[in-house]
Structure 1
Amino acid sequence: MLTIKIEEPATVGLLEKQINEIYDNSEASIKKLLFDFSTCPFIEITTLAFLISFITQRAIKNLITKIKLPFSKDVRDILRVWDFPNALKRASGIPFSRIVIEEDHKYFGEDFSLENMKYSQSIIYDKRLTRLLSKNFFSFNTYSIDSIIFSPKVAFDECRRWQDRLISSVLNNHLKGPDSYVSNRIIFEALTNTLRHPDAKIVQTSSFFQPVRDKRNNIRGHFTIIIWDDGISMIDTLRNALKAGKKIRSTQADEFFTKYLFVLKDSNGKKINEKTIGSDFSPDNNCSDELLLLTECFPGITCDIEGKNIINNNDGDVEVPKIFSRPGMGLYILVNAVVYIFGGEIAYRTKNIFINIKKAPKKTGKNYDYRVKAMNYSEYLPNFLGNMLTIRLPIFRSYAPTVKPKEIQRNEECSPVGL
């Protein structure tokens, strides 16, 4: 059995790098694979979402994947607080006890009380979050969806969770933009897009507050939101429409013309080239997968130009321009809210492609609206199952009694944490 041993904090980038290396060196299908987290000091929530997709894909191919649990109970508690065992079972159909190596079954049934969990306490810098954790707000939530009949119920249900008075208050106190935009322009737009992915049977959401106190006792850090579905890749969905000769641009949306600094890197992170892409660019069958994925964020690009499945949700939001309700505007609204309203960044992972979108750095002047980093992973690495969206919003809160918090304007430059 081949083993991937994680001895550092398990970020999704580190895990993918080690998976990439082991597949590059393997001449045959890896029938048995062990993830050894025994000495791992921390597991990122995005990493857990990646593992769910990866292990589910291997299960579909009847390949065996095992996990060696961390020696540290604090790290094992991360899996419990975010309900990872159940989320993995819901996606893969395999009980967690069959994935964990037998000698680690001794850890099953350990004390599960929030007050005794280090990592649950580390994110409870606002005592009101205790209730949210106890109700599994941040944990993996799995929704079963009908891949044949489009229904927005899941999007409305998840949106209402984020409109809870308590969570809205917490978001309003710690994020840069209006709390209503989180539910209506981020969660809702992300979920309605996800529900359109063909053959998706489930969608999972999770989130994580990761605060850091500075020397003046102010809170910094970021809030991460993850949405994953097991459907056909966004890339293939749009490419299939192009191959069928379908029109994929519903409107030119000239008033929302956007310029992107598109930076392409190889699987080792080495820059291959960079170029300027405008949102008036129309993809064709010769368009690369990396660029095709980016165009899905352009205003007016959609496989549903007639708007048959378009759903609007402006409840509790400010007045929304009518053009926002046109087909193909959802992902544009989502990216705009994440980057320009909240000062964060957004990433997509599907097939063997990763793209990250954030505000263009000041040194580029006013030549670009967004900087996009795109990576194409090794051809030996199995294609990522489904579509994973990772959103990171910077946290700000001042606790220093002698320092008056600065008012943060929506258009203020921020320094988001890199994905």
Structure 2
Amino acid sequence: MSPLSASSTAQDHQLFSAPLPAHMETSPQVVVDLAGFVSMDAFNRAMQSLHPPGGKLPAQALINLEDTTHILVECLTALIAEVAQRQRAGLTTTFRLPLSRAVRGFMRTWGFARAFRNATGLALMTAVESDSLQRVHAYDEVNKGGSEGRYGYEKIYETLDGESRVPLDLHRFFGFQYWSQTSAEQEEEATRFDRLVVEECARWTDPVLERVLYRQLGKYGSYVSTVVHEALTNAFRHGGATSILDVSNSHYSQQRREDKNLTLVFWDNGVASYSTLRSRLDAGETIIATSFESSPELVFNIKPFAEGGLPTGATVTSRKVPTADSPDWHVVLSALFPGISADPAGAQHFSLASPGTDACLPGRGLSNLINSAVDVLGGTVAFRSGEYFMNISSASPETPLVYAVKITKSWSFFGNMITVRLPLN
């Protein structure tokens, strides 16, 4: 099974056709307009209409992309998650296609339709409104030869020494990749999951791509493969996950006329990651792995806010392990603590870190990820899981292992999504 070529299994499709839970009522069609530049904030505001208070879900939803002029790759991933949730609940979703050729070209080149079908069980074009294609054709006839903004990396980069130019069709590295965990489980090979992660990490160590990352991220560009390894290993281990996606893209700044940052997104359709920690705590079981005592102490400065009973500003260290009485936000945060794990014995543990080091021990995965992405590469990491959103950034560039954290609570997201944003140039 290879990314973008694996079709969903019969078992996957059984999930997509599951009946709507009896306690959920449905309402008439809701139209979701995603217009202009669609950021994650704009996407969440628009999708709020599909998640009204009280759990009354719209039986039919229309996702209107006609006026979309730019959509971030994390929004496309979240859109897949939204439709996958609706498919599993037996609800109907239809689409209006973007009129913008740049947006359509990006979605086509990055393999959105194939990833969408694999993760949701729904062929995108069968869900498109009947007259949407006519409007797209009419738009193209009127706007022949017009120029539109671009997506993604330039296809040619100069290396730092300035002596050669690297022609590279980068969408083969950065487009949507898909894995069906159900298919992998049917394999007899015991290390199947490990090998899938290793194969994906190997794409990010391709010699040509490494030259591009070195140019854009500097001498620590190779740490991107660590980010990919930890995020994917995390996704494959989530309970109930049958579909895993990753995708990447650069965000081009029209003002600066250059790529501004590299975004990497990872999604799985498993249970909320913090729920497995919560289950162990509620059962009186430990979440402390053997690496806890020897791990460095991390400091998390939680940004002040007062929403949903969450803290109004606090400082929490990784030594403050949550208990069964702890609020959910503390359990969510503890997933980042080195030495804290829902699998403290390491029964399903797998690491590419150097053998014999603390970094390769159970419970170090997500702390390794934020160390690489935030402390080493100067980026940010956002987690979306269940009802919680958490964003991690550096509290001070001069002080590693001290992080600024924003935790908010909203409507329940389907699965788990990690978004890593790394500054370029």
Shorter-normalised TM range: 0.7 to 0.9
CA distance in structure 2 between the partners assigned to 1:221 and 1:321 by the alignment: 37
Residue pairs, 1:156-305, within 5 angstroms: 156-183=198-225, 185-212=226-253, 219=258, 221-250=260-289, 251-253=291-293, 256-263=296-303, 265=305, 273-305=312-344
- Tell me the residue number matched to 1:306: 345
Render the CA deviation track for 1:218-257: whole Å, top value 9, x for unaligned.
x561100000011111011111121222211113345511
Q: TM-score, normalised by structure 2?
A: 0.81
Contact 1:223 1:392 (8 Å CA) reproduced: yes
Secondary structure of 1:245's partner? coil
- Cα drift, residue 301 of structure 1: 0.2
- Cα drift, residue 367 of structure 1: 11
Aligned-pair identity (%) = 26
Residue of 365, 376, 379 corresponding to 1:330: 365
Aligned residue pair count: 376
Distance 1:388 1:158, change over 3 A: same
- Cα drift, residue 7 of structure 1: 2.2
Residue pairs, 1:106-185, within 5 angstroms: 106=134, 123-124=153-154, 126-127=156-157, 128=166, 130-133=168-171, 136-146=172-182, 151-183=193-225, 185=226
- Cα drift, residue 164 of structure 1: 0.9
Highest RCO, 1 vs 2 (Cα 8 Å, sep ≥ 6): 1
**1:345 partner letter:** T
Q: TM-score, normalised by structure 1?
A: 0.82
1:36 and 2:77 correspond: no
Secondary structure of 1:313's partner? coil
- Tell me the residue number matched to 2:23: none
CA distance in structure 2 between the partners assigned to 1:384 and 1:233 by the alignment: 9
- Cα drift, residue 286 of structure 1: 2.6
CA distance in structure 2 between the partners assigned to 1:272 and 1:172 by the alignment: 40
Distance 1:82 1:277, change over 3 A: same
Contact 2:287 2:341 (8 Å CA) reproduced: yes
- Cα drift, residue 267 of structure 1: 6.6
Contact 1:211 1:395 (8 Å CA) reproduced: no
- Tell me the residue number matched to 1:85: 113
CA distance in structure 2 between the partners assigned to 1:253 and 1:38 by the alignment: 54
CA distance in structure 2 between the partners assigned to 1:160 and 1:6 by the alignment: 35
Secondary structure of 1:24's partner? coil
Distance 1:155 1:371, change over 3 A: same
Q: Which runs of 5+ in 2 are unaligned?
A: 1-28, 141-145, 158-165
- Cα drift, residue 105 of structure 1: 3.5
Distance 1:328 1:16, change over 3 A: same
Secondary structure of 2:169's partner? helix
- Cα drift, residue 90 of structure 1: 0.4
Q: Which runs of 5+ in 1 are unaligned?
A: 397-419
Render the CA deviation track for 1:353-378: whole Å, top value 9, x for unaligned.
1000010147xx9698100000101x
Contact 1:346 1:391 (8 Å CA) reproduced: yes
Distance 1:313 1:394, change over 3 A: same
Secondary structure of 2:392's partner? strand
Contact 1:68 1:104 (8 Å CA) reproduced: yes
**1:221 partner letter:** K
Residue pairs, 1:383-394, within 5 angstroms: 383-394=412-423
Secondary structure of 2:323's partner? coil
Render the CA deviation track for 1:152-179: whole Å, top value 9, x for unaligned.
1221111111111111111111014523
Quote the RMSD (CA, aligned, Å).
Answer: 3.0
